[in-house]
Structure 1
Amino acid sequence: MNRPDHSGAEPPGFDRHMLESLVCPVTHATLSYDAARQELVSRAAGLAFPIRAGIPIMLVGEARQIKAD
């Protein structure tokens, strides 16, 4: 039985419409989408939340600290 090779397939993309509903779990501020890093960024909290397989991981323990610009 032949199955398609999905080894080179890209993960599902993030639904940008979801961004309108999500807020930072720390500050409740709006988030910005960083497509290159696949993260949702809360500048108010200085955190970047990863997006894995199209699913935002909104746990503070999973977030990356970002430097203030």
Structure 2
Amino acid sequence: MTDDTPPRPAPHAYDRRMLEALVCPATRAPLRYDAARQELVSRAAHLAYPIRDGIPIMLVDEARDID
């Protein structure tokens, strides 16, 4: 018996089109995905939005200041 189930994406694998659709809630500027830190970075706002359990947390109060 063979399994014809299509392969599942790796945990927390992101569709590039989905990421490109997200913008910074503070500035509406594009975001850059930082895979190593699991963050979406807004250079315009100098903020990094965390990704927790595969879900981007798009709240300014939850973002980390970056320089």
Shift of 1:17: 2.8
Deviations 1:3-27, CA, capped at 9 Å, x for gaps: xxxxxxxxx3142331111000010
Q: Considering only aligned residues, what root-mean-square deviation do their CA atoms show, in Å?
A: 1.5
Counterpart for residue 12 of structure 2: 13
Where does the alignment leave 5 or more consecutive residues of structure 1 unmatched?
Answer: 1-11
Counterpart for residue 31 of structure 1: 31
Instruction: Give secondary structure in 1 for the equivalent of 2:41.
Output: strand
Q: How many residues align?
A: 57
Higher RCO structure (Cα 8 Å, ≥6 apart): 1
How many percent identity over aligned positions? Answer: 73
Where does the alignment leave 5 or more consecutive residues of structure 2 unmatched?
Answer: 1-10
TM-score using structure 2 length: 0.78
